Chains A and B, each alone.
Chain A
């Protein structure tokens, strides 16, 4: 290991314990799986995703896979989450 690697490690701080990583990963995946399990996802979601995609494609050149529409439950609230991954190094037109 070079001096620079050592220095980088030092700057990054102590590594996260794996038990903490395990807990975080579980909390995220189970939130997703529980959301899918409860009330079935409303049937307008695919159409909504399609239309949003069309609108966004008007302005940004974007991959169909790079847009995700999700409905999640957070306690009493339903949260509609729209996730668009913009292509790298491409300016919005």
Chain B
């Protein structure tokens, strides 16, 4: 049975699209047929992060309006065999994203794919709502910072009250906490909320921690999802996240400050 996973956060700039790209890629690398949908109508960016921006012909609104069939709008990822991208519309209004239209697309995708990853826009408006409405599971992307934690809490409230699962009285959406842009050194210095703090406040199970890293910018510069950056902490952390999501018991990494050895200090460790 296909699973619909929303990558959400409330707050912008915390790493939803970075996570959607890497998480979907990680699922595909493990042999799952995966599609990742950009719900940020008017401000699409998943295409850039995935490096397929020049191959966009049709988008999700074209499919909803019947201007194109779904298979024509899906873009095959260049890094993984099992991965497809459904881009958002750059020109339309976000209201064109009707719930009925989105439901039709998701149901059609369920026939072919194992995982449907929905990259939510920031905020709690229509686009974010359509991205989360049909979700079976949610990755709540949170930075160790007060406004991000507060917004995540708000999103958790909405998932629990207004998602389709909540409205239909089914089992609730399964929530996963993903802490991103984590800096263990600053946590040790008492300058940053710790993973334990965030977990205690939000009270949902921790799926993983992605360390703050310069390689995320390098990945987006080149249109390669961060999970493909060999030997980077971020890639390893995302692979762990996918493994845990698939049920492998992988211990948490990158949550304690690393003592910089002379070699690392000289040659960098990124």
Of A17, A18, A30, which is within 8 A of B201 by CB? A30
In the complex, whether A29 has a CB less than 8 A from a CB of chain B is yes
Q: How many A-B residue pairs have CB under 8 A?
A: 39
Please name the residue on chain B nearest to A37 by beta carbon: B157
* A: contact size bracket: 10 to 19
Main secondary structure of the interface of A (DSSP, over half): helix
- Considering residues A22, A29, A34, which has the most beta carbons from chain B within 10 angstroms of its beta carbon? A22
Q: Contact at B193–A23, with CB atoms within 8 Å?
A: yes
In the complex, whether A27 has a CB less than 8 A from a CB of chain B is yes
In the complex, whether B77 has a CB less than 8 A from a CB of chain A is no
* B: contact size bracket: 10 to 19
In the complex, whether A25 has a CB less than 8 A from a CB of chain B is yes
The 8 A CB mask of A20-38 against B (1 = contact, 0 = none) is 1011011101100110010
Task: Give, as a whole number of angstroms, the nearest-CB distance from A21 to chain B.
Answer: 9
In the complex, whether B194 has a CB less than 8 A from a CB of chain A is yes
B residues near A29, Cβ cutoff 8 Å: 150
Q: Contact at A34–B192, with CB atoms within 8 Å?
A: no
Q: Contact at B197–A23, with CB atoms within 8 Å?
A: yes
A residues near B103, Cβ cutoff 8 Å: none
Please report the C-alpha to C-alpha distance between residue A18 and residue B194 in the assembled complex, in whole angstroms: 12
Q: Contact at A19–B153, with CB atoms within 8 Å?
A: no
Q: Contact at B150–A19, with CB atoms within 8 Å?
A: no
Of B154, B190, B191, B201, which is within 8 A of A27 by CB? B201
Please report the C-alpha to C-alpha distance between residue A18 and residue B186 in the assembled complex, in whole angstroms: 11
Residues of B bordering A, CB below 8 Å = 145-146, 149-150, 153-154, 157, 161, 187, 189-194, 197, 200-201
Q: A18-B190, A22-B193, A26-B150 are in contact. List 5 more A-B contacts (CB 8 A).
A: A17-B191, A19-B187, A19-B190, A19-B197, A30-B150
Residues of A bordering B, CB below 8 Å = 17-20, 22-23, 25-27, 29-30, 33-34, 37
